[in-house]
Amino acid sequence: MLDPGILFAGVLNGLMAGGIYVLVAVGLTLIYGVLHIINFAHGSLLMLAMYAVFFLWRLSGLDPYAALPIVIGAAFAFGYLLYRLVIGRLSHGRDENILLITLGISIVIDNVALLLFGGNTQTVETPYASSFVQLGDAFLPLPKIISFVASLFICAVLGLFLARSDTGKAIRAVARERQGARLVGIDVDNIFALSYGIGIACLGAAACLLMPTYYVTPSSGHAFVLVAFTIVVLGGMGSFAGAAVGGLIIGVVESLGGLVLGEQLGQIGISAIFILILLLKPSGLFGARQ
């Protein structure tokens, strides 16, 4: 069928992309695990973060990787406030309501972006963008490798934070047993806001890692939302391991799909996986039974 060399390159490229998807998915699954919110605004917020990286570069020449601390911090703050001022205030009752509220947020963000930035695609040009590393038959763009490694590193840091730090433990406590956490004195509402903030901070990081090799346009949110949800559902809602494994799998599927079926039809792999998982094993690979 396909030349093994091309397949090999496809798989590697897919893994590189998948590594960054992991970061996006980790944020989403954290938000679900702690707040039980399906954050439909996830894609739109990623798009916003990517524009932030773009404008930082455009206005001050700041390299996307160097912008990591700034964008992560700003994203965290934005997420924290978004939860405190909007989501936290308005979410009560059925989970569809919260989904609708996050849908509303995504509509607002998408269109604010459209209004302010226009419909053009924007890219960041870095001096090393055209550098390649050769691995066997595959030529991997250097930024992709850097991003992949950086993403793994950030995930590891996040994992350590959740496992070792007091706040991290509090977050895990709230995720596991909300009322119990309240009873032992944890400020649950604050943890909610913090967790949402961290989830968005992950998007900030992902944005910095994506911009060297991707483009951004106001409709990027739509594209990423389904990918993110597919990963999280594949891996299991609320599962970190799931997000990691799922992200890599989806990265490879997307890449191979594009190779085998062509640029247009290749995208269908993601929708198909999403539908199949939901119909056959909604709890995903690592998720708990609903």
Supply the minimum distance, in Å, between the C-beta of residue 218 and another protein.
Answer: 8
Q: Are 240 and 83 in contact (CB under 8 A)?
A: no
Beta carbons of 66 and 212 less than 8 angstroms apart: no
**Cβ proximity to another protein, 104 vs 168, nearer residue:** 104
Asked if 17 contacts 266 with a C-beta cutoff of 8 angstroms, the reply is no
Told to check if 94 binds another protein by CB under 8 A, we report: yes
Rounded to whole angstroms, the Cα distance separating 148 from 144 reads: 6
Tell me: does residue 85 bind another protein (CB under 8 A): no
Q: How many residues bind another protein (CB under 8 A)?
A: 43
In terms of CB distance, is 92 or 164 closer to another protein? 92
Which pair of tokens denotes residue 40?
A: 């439909």
**Stretch of 6-14, 68-76, 88-96, 193-201 lying at the interface with another protein (CB under 8 A):** 88-96
- Measured from the CB of residue 226, what is the shortest distance to another protein in angstroms? 6
Instruction: Give the whole-angstrom CA distance, residue 79 versus residue 197.
Output: 4
- 143 is written with which tokens? 């930024």
Nearer to another protein, 23 or 273 (CB): 273
> Helix, strand or coil for residue 157?
helix
| 119 within 8 A of 217, measured Cβ to Cβ | yes
Q: With binding defined as CB under 8 A, does residue 97 bind another protein?
A: yes
Among 26, 35, 68, 105, interactor with another protein by CB under 8 A: 105
The footprint of another protein on residues 184-243 (CB under 8 A) is 222, 226, 229-230, 233
Roughly how many angstroms between the first and final C-alpha of the chain, as a whole number? 41
Spell out a b/e string for 63-94, using b for 16 or more CB atoms within 10 Å of the CB, else e: bbbebbeebbebbbebbbebbbebbeeebeee
The region of 10-18, 112-120, 134-142, 145-153 touching another protein under the rule CB under 8 A is 112-120
Minimum distance from CB of 115 to another protein (Å)?
4
Contact residue for another protein among 1, 59, 184, 280 (CB under 8 A): 280
79 Cβ partners below 8 Å, 6+ apart?
45, 196, 197, 198, 199, 200, 201, 203
121 binds another protein (CB under 8 A): no
Q: Which two tokens stand for residue 110?
A: 């998408």
Q: Which of 70, 81, 278, 285 binds another protein (CB under 8 A)?
A: 278
Task: Note whether 231 and 247 are within 8 A (CB).
Answer: yes
Residue 66 or 90 having the CB closest to another protein: 90
95 binds another protein (CB under 8 A): yes
Residue numbers of the site for another protein (CB under 8 A)? 38, 86, 89-91, 94-97, 99-101, 103-108, 110-112, 114-115, 118, 222, 226, 229-230, 233, 261-262, 264-265, 267-268, 271-272, 274-275, 278-280, 282
